[in-house]
Amino acid sequence: MTYKTISAAALIASTLALGSFAPVAVAQTVVIQSGQVIPAPPPPRHEVVPAPRRGMVWEEGHWEWRNRRHVWVAGHWVKARPGYAYRQPTWQERDGRWEMRRGGWDRDGDGVPNRDDRRPNNPHRN
């Protein structure tokens, strides 16, 4: 055996011994929502964002909770609404609980959906 063969065999053996081919365990927080245990969403998938289109807004791909499991929703175009800012869908953890904040349109750009905003057309926004 040559030195290179022994080195390669040792490298492969140490890699297998360290378990680098084993699946990586990811800690997930779970919540109970409507009687269901919901695990934290998986990491987002990488998507290539296409070139901008006039009159359209790109909604990024994201995970949604459907039928008791996370389902990937691919990014897609949404028709723009003049005078509104689009808020991307996101998952947020609050007090150990995961909740989905759906994307939507916001007239004054303060990040609060108009349906929840006490002053949706605040002219003194930052």
With a cut of 70, say whether residue 15 has pLDDT above it.
no
The vertex-55 CA angle with 51 and 61, nearest 5°, equals: 55
Lowest mean pLDDT among 6-10, 32-36, 83-87, 112-116: 6-10
Q: What is the pLDDT of residue 121?
A: 65
Q: What is the pLDDT of residue 98?
A: 87
Chain-wide mean pLDDT for the chain?
A: 74
The DSSP element (H or E) to which 99 belongs, if any, is strand 97-101
Note the maximum CA span of the chain. Answer: 79
Backbone angles phi and psi of 52, in degrees to 5: -60, 150
pLDDT digits (tens, 9 = 90+) for 29-79: 455 555 566 789 999 999 999 999 999 999 999 999 999 899 999 999 999
| Single pTM value for the model | 0.59
The residue ranking higher by pLDDT, 122 or 66, is 66
**Alpha carbon of 72 to those of 45, 50, 54: distances in Å?**
8, 18, 26
DSSP 47-67: -PPPPP-TTEEEEPPEEEEET
Question: Cβ of 38: how many Cβ atoms within 10 Å?
Answer: 20
With a cut of 80, say whether residue 82 has pLDDT above it.
yes
Name 44's Cβ contacts closer than 8 Å, sequence gap at least 6: 60, 61, 62, 63
